[in-house]
Amino acid sequence: MGDPKLYVFYLSLSYLLGSIPFGLILSKLKGVDPRKVGSGNIGATNVMRAVGKRLGFLTLLCDLLKAGLPVLFGRISNLDPLFSISMGFASFLGHSFPIWLKFRGGKGVAPALGAFLFFNPHATLYAIFIFVFVFFLWRYVSLASLVSSFSFPFILFLLGERKEVVFMASLFVALIFLRHRENIRRLKEGRENRVNL
C-alpha cells in the first residue's frame, strides 16, 4: 500500500479533470450555451444538436479522455487495477457533478466508456457493439446508452473480471441510470428525440 495522501491527491486530480465541462466550453466558442438548447445537457449528444457534429464529436473525445487518461496513468504506473478504475470513477463523478457548475453536469456515458476502454478494451468493445446495434435499431442515443451500460457488468463477469471491478462497474451503471431518469420518463411516454441519420 502506498502513501494514502498520494492516493487522495490522484483521486482529487481525477475528479477535477473530470469536472472540466468541455461540452460547455466548446459550445461557447460558437456563442451557444447547450444548457439552454434541447435536453439542456452539456454532453456530446446535446452539443451536437446545439452547435453541430464537429464540436459534438470533439466533446465526445474530450469526455472519453478525461476519464480514460487517469485510468491509463494508473495502469502504466503499476497502481492496483482497482485503484486505477477508481480514478476513472472519480473523473466520472466530476463529469456528472462538476464543482464549477453547481454539481449539474453530464450524464456520464462518455467518461464511463473512456475509463473502461483503457481498463478492459475487450469488454468495452462488446458494450460498444450493443450500443451500435440498439442505436441503429431504434435511433435513440439514450436507449442505446442505457442498454449497453446495463449489460456491461455482466460482460465483465462473463469475461472473468474480478468481482471488485464488476461491483465498480455497477456503480457507474447505477449513476448513469440516475442521470438518465428524465430520458427514461420520455422513452416511456414516447417523447424522446430520435437521431435523424
pLDDT tens readout for residues 116-163? 999 999 999 999 999 999 999 999 999 999 999 999 999 999 999 999
Separation between Cα atoms, residue 187 and residue 183, nearest integer Å: 6
**139: buried, middle or exposed (CB in 10 Å: 19+, 13-18, 0-12)?**
middle
Record the cell numbers describing residue 82, joined without a space.
482497482
Position 2 pLDDT exceeds 70: no
Position 1 pLDDT exceeds 60: no
Mean of the per-residue pLDDT values for the chain? Answer: 95
**Cα-based torsion angle of the residue sequence 163, 5, 110, 158 in order, rounded to the nearest 10 degrees:** -10
Contacts of 31 (CB under 8 A, 6+ apart): none
- Is the pTM higher than 0.85? The answer reads yes
Give the pLDDT score at 27. 96
Record the cell numbers describing residue 53, joined without a space.
457534429
